[in-house]
Amino acid sequence: MAKFSVIKQHLYQKIASGEWPENHLVSSENALAQQFNVSRMTARRALQELADEGLVLRNKGSGTYVAPLKSQTSFMAIRNIADEIANRGHQHQAIVHTLKAQPASPQVAEFLQVPVASKVFFSVITHLEDGVPVQVEERYVNPSMATHYLKQDFTKLTPHEYLSAESPLTEASHQIEAVSPSAQLCEWLRLSKPEPCLRIIRRTWSHAGIVTYAVLTHPGSRFVLGGHLTFKS
């Protein structure tokens, strides 16, 4: 593991365990460089990548602090939301609003590449972090890729966990947009009044074809979208 990655893992554990709560002062570049016997530049890279991912906030002159509690994710990876929440030292809960079979609309049929009006599976789930809603997941599933989808208890495992085991993912596409939530979304997210939300529209594939079309909506006040790219020369 690269030295900057070792430092990142150390800081991840401090934050995820709750040892360093939100707004806690993070070790400085100099302190990390001495602790891990690396250059200050290496320590700076570790801190900057954590800042890019939304886990810490860097304030010139005052230091680096653990970011306020929000749902934090990366658009460059598909992760299990229950694992993300657990890694932050918090508890995941799920409320299943809908789990049924229904005819595919023209839009859904196009996304899943199935005939219009053919049977697809549909679920709506609110994911909560320590009792606070952080995501509404509206998911359409190709039944041929996940035969027993409707028989799952999604309060005990997430659709991502089930689908990853049933039809291992090989490819994904994302579309990200800012939206104003509907009254129904406000109810599911427990928003007292509408606020800007971030919506991720995702399609996933397995070797056999398209598995799901999902719409993931997050309240802006409880969500950070981050990521870090490394370019090779």
The tens digit of pLDDT for each residue in 160-180 reads 999 988 888 888 888 888 999
Element (H, E) at 57: strand 56-59
Domains within the chain, CATH numbers bracketed: 3-66 (1.10.10.10), 71-226 (3.40.1410.10)
Q: How far is residue 121 CA from its own chain's centroid?
A: 22
**pLDDT tens string 52-79:** 777 788 887 788 998 876 545 555 567 7
Residue type, 197: C
- Say what the pTM is: 0.69
Query: Mean pLDDT score of the chain, rounded to an integer?
Result: 87
